[in-house]
Structure 1
Amino acid sequence: MSLTGRLAFVTGAGSGIGRATCQCLAREGALVIAADKNIGSARETVESLPKLLSESHLSIEISVENASQVQAALKESLNTYSRAPSIVVNAAGITRDNFISKLSEADFDEVLDVNLKGTFLVIQTFANAIVEGKVEKASIINIGSVVAKFGNIGQGNYCASKAGVELLTKVAAREFGKVNIRVNTVLPGVIQTPMFNAVPEKVKAKFVERIPLARLGYPEEVAEVISFLASDKSSYINGASIEVTGGF
């Protein structure tokens, strides 16, 4: 599943699924732009990647909900590599959990801004650059969540944002498929990420009870699916939602 010669732009690259995705793509030969709100974490990710002979991986600071920062990230990518990425992974995401009766407007807005609006801005900005640059075999992979399928108590804002990501992906797949850009969603289940590690142990145990494989997932297991969707081996997969849940 070679990605040699491909340029990949990954948001949320500083930890969790984003970092694992950078590592997986780089292992397959891709040149990686690791973008994250925490530039220190993005640099740590780049340091963990295998070195390439011809070009170097790049770390970029970005707040995906900020249109000017997304445009600046694209500009820096173009200035550095003289081409638009052919792989774009939207892994940036946050939670601000609370019951709907207690959820603040600010926490609702922030989750929707980062998870949904941020995904929209990155898709729009980079897909347009891919078209303008006549980049071939482009693939955009967005990170949704399986909880957006059935809801989860205390996560009204998160579930709404991730349900939006999945439907946004399907629309983008229809619109950009005409110019040979594939757009797909990966729906992780309960994955051992810094976001999930903050959950109390008793709650984690209840989640595991509902997983047929009887364990939590690893970021690397999600990253392998993302890498597949970035490669030519998934050349006829477009507008799909792929669950990585252990059967949850």
Structure 2
Amino acid sequence: MAAAAARVAFITGGAQGIGRATANKLASRGISIVLADQNAERGHAAAKDVASQFGVKTKFVKVDVTQEQQVKDGIGEALKLTGRLDYAANCAGICESVWEGEEDVTVELYDKTLAINTKGLWLCQKHQALQMRKQDPVSISTTPAPRHAIPGQRGSIANICSISGLHAAGLAAYTASKYAAVGVTKTGAKFYGPDGVRINGLCPGWTMTEMIIGSMGKEGTPGTKENNESPVAQKISLRRMGQPEEQANVLSFLLSDESSYMHGALLVTDGGFHDIR
């Protein structure tokens, strides 16, 4: 990704997990960062740490992605850094316990899951894309240089969709929300692609984030005996769960000029869980 100092990324769920790892990855390439999250304590600490490590402009904004005005205000804070919004990584999400059956999922939990994972994703994508299409296009940088000029783009969005948006292996609320997230991503690509705004989705598999630890307990916790011997890990071709940094690497690629002809696509990053049996 081009390390232009004037570029800025807006990351939801940025206080922890894949969002936090993505903040580090993009900041390491000289991109200014706006972290959006509901956890103000973790968010402020994360923003301070990113700024200290990488020397880029960094800001935390408290945002509930289910609230449209908060989403719009958060994007407005990003504009104060450079006057535009170049990249958006939508990583905010929740998940019920892996061990629960459908009978254990309450209406309240179901509604909350879809509100954050689907409605919240849609609100963020919508207002990010609406801002991006107002902006002047920025030229695409590739090495070696292409034989013919590549048209510039106005912005790039990457959504966390999950392999649970590709197959149903349980998780009644989460799976429904992620199938819908795939639809949000692809319809967004249809609406905003003609304006030079790229939108793609990442479908992570089992990744050891705070959300998975909360959902799986010790089996999802790095370094534990339960994680090392996890039956879930044994179903993954690489025989291990992933790390947030591995997902952040691919999110960074999806946002970057290196993926300039990828649009409306889904990338699966699951160690071979979905396609290899």
- TM-score > 0.5 by shorter chain: yes
Contact persistence 1:11–1:90 (CA under 8 A):
yes
Over residues 100-124 of structure 1, what are the superposed CA-to-partner deviations in whole Å (9 max), with x where a residue is unaligned?
2232111100000000000100111
Residue-pair matches, total:
245
Quick one: distance in 2 between partners of 1:222 and 1:235?
Answer: 19
The equivalent of 1:174 in structure 2 is: 190
The equivalent of 1:146 in structure 2 is: 163
Higher-Rg member (1/2): 2
1:127 aligns with 2:164: no
Over residues 111-155 of structure 1, what are the superposed CA-to-partner deviations in whole Å (9 max), with x where a residue is unaligned?
0000000010011111111122335331100001112222122x1
Contact persistence 1:192–1:217 (CA under 8 A):
yes
CA-atom RMSD, angstroms? 1.7
1:1-248 matched pairs, under 5 angstroms: 1-5=1-5, 6-51=7-52, 56-78=57-79, 80-97=80-97, 98-136=100-138, 137=153, 138-153=155-170, 155-198=171-214, 199-201=216-218, 204=227, 205-248=230-273
Quick one: distance in 2 between partners of 1:201 and 1:141?
Answer: 30
Quick one: distance in 2 between partners of 1:48 and 1:224?
Answer: 19
Quick one: distance in 1 between partners of 2:130 and 2:192?
Answer: 9
Aligned letter for 2:266? S
Quick one: distance in 1 between partners of 2:121 and 2:3?
Answer: 23
Contact persistence 1:84–1:126 (CA under 8 A):
no
Following superposition, the deviation at residue 40 of structure 1 comes to 1.5
Structure 2 residue ranges without an equivalent (≥5): 139-152, 220-225
Contact persistence 2:137–2:196 (CA under 8 A):
no
Structure 1 residue ranges without an equivalent (≥5): none
Following superposition, the deviation at residue 201 of structure 1 comes to 4.0
TM-score under structure 1 length normalisation: 0.93
Over residues 183-238 of structure 1, what are the superposed CA-to-partner deviations in whole Å (9 max), with x where a residue is unaligned?
00000001010111231445850110101111110000000001111111100000
Contact persistence 1:86–1:139 (CA under 8 A):
yes
**Identity over the aligned pairs, expressed in percent?**
31
Aligned-partner SS, 1:132: coil
TM-score under structure 2 length normalisation: 0.84
Contact persistence 1:115–1:162 (CA under 8 A):
yes
Over residues 147-191 of structure 1, what are the superposed CA-to-partner deviations in whole Å (9 max), with x where a residue is unaligned?
2222122x1110011111112111111111101111000000010
